[in-house]
Amino acid sequence: MITFDDFVKVDIRVGKIISAEDFPEAKKPTYKLKIDLGNEAGVKKSCAQLCANYTKANLKGKLVLCVVNFPPKQIGSEISEVLTLGVPGKDGECVLIEPEREVEIGGRLF
């Protein structure tokens, strides 16, 4: 079990997806995302398996939650700088966690 102090070490921020591109080199259907995480974190790249539930067009402009303080991870030929958060839908595919209303880009989860 972790403590609350452990939890607050995880820096989860609101980001806005500014672009989504196909990532055909990935083992599973994946998009390469660019996400604006505000002034403090800036624009970061993320690789996410979202193709089953989202098109590139409906991802653009979407608000998402991202872990910004994990180390970058090599995904095939790309580096994923943040972890875009989601949960499994009824089909087991990723459903993004989104704020229910407009919030400030870069805002930290508390």
pLDDT band (50, 70, 90) for residue 105: very high
Which residue from 30, 36, 40 is spatially nearest to 60, judged by alpha carbons? 36
The fold of 16-96 is OB fold (Dihydrolipoamide Acetyltransferase, E2P) (2.40.50)
Q: Among the residues of the chain, which ranges form H helices? A: 4-8, 38-41, 56-59
pTM listed for this prediction: 0.94
Average pLDDT over residues 94-105: 95
The answer to whether the beta carbons of residues 61 and 19 sit under 8 Å apart is no
pLDDT band (50, 70, 90) for residue 75: very high
Task: Report the pLDDT value the prediction gives residue 49, as an integer from 0 to 100.
Answer: 96
Average pLDDT over residues 49-67: 97
Domain residue limits, the chain:
16-96
- Three-point CA angle 35, 41, 45, nearest 5°: 35
